Amino acid sequence: MDISTRERTLTVGEAAERVGLTTYTLRWYEQEGLVAPVGRDSAGRRRYTTGDVDWLFLLTRLRRTGMPVRDMRRYAELARQGDRTLGARRALFESHRARVLTRMAELEADLKVLDHKIDAYRRAEEGQ
């Protein structure tokens, strides 16, 4: 796909920096099928559009929330199939949301333990 629009596009390095990935990771996302083929300039270099960068932001959020790559790949496949997969995409996100909420509850419990220990050490230091 050759980029011939007037839209400002980004190089692989610029796109990676914009979304907080390394260029290596961005290329890996492409190899894993998480990113649709990216447009190229007349010299054959990748050029990322605003839509590409938005997609990458979503992928980084999904990854940061712990979504397995297999689920991210499945989501990308479903998204490429269009609106007929809206229900499947929603279900995938609902399932992941439940896992995120469980993890958040676990982290809150872990944080309480840390707060308790910090408080105990603070009290012990003040008592010296």
Query: Could you tell me the domains of the chain?
Result: 1-64 (1.10.1660.10), 68-128 (no CATH)
- Say if residue 1's pLDDT is above 70: no
CB 49 within 8 A of CB 13: no
Sign of CA dihedral 28, 68, 114, 101: positive
pTM of the model as a whole: 0.81
Mean pLDDT of the chain: 93
- Say if residue 2's pLDDT is above 60: no
Question: What is the predicted pLDDT for the residue at 5?
Answer: 55
pLDDT in tens, 94-121: 999 999 999 999 999 999 999 999 999 9
Structure tokens at 89: 């995409």
- Say if residue 124's pLDDT is above 70: yes
Calculate what percentage of the chain has a pLDDT beyond 70.
95
CA distances from residue 1 to 9, 26, 47, 48, 79 in whole angstroms, order as listed: 14, 18, 10, 11, 19
Question: What is the predicted pLDDT for the residue at 4?
Answer: 52
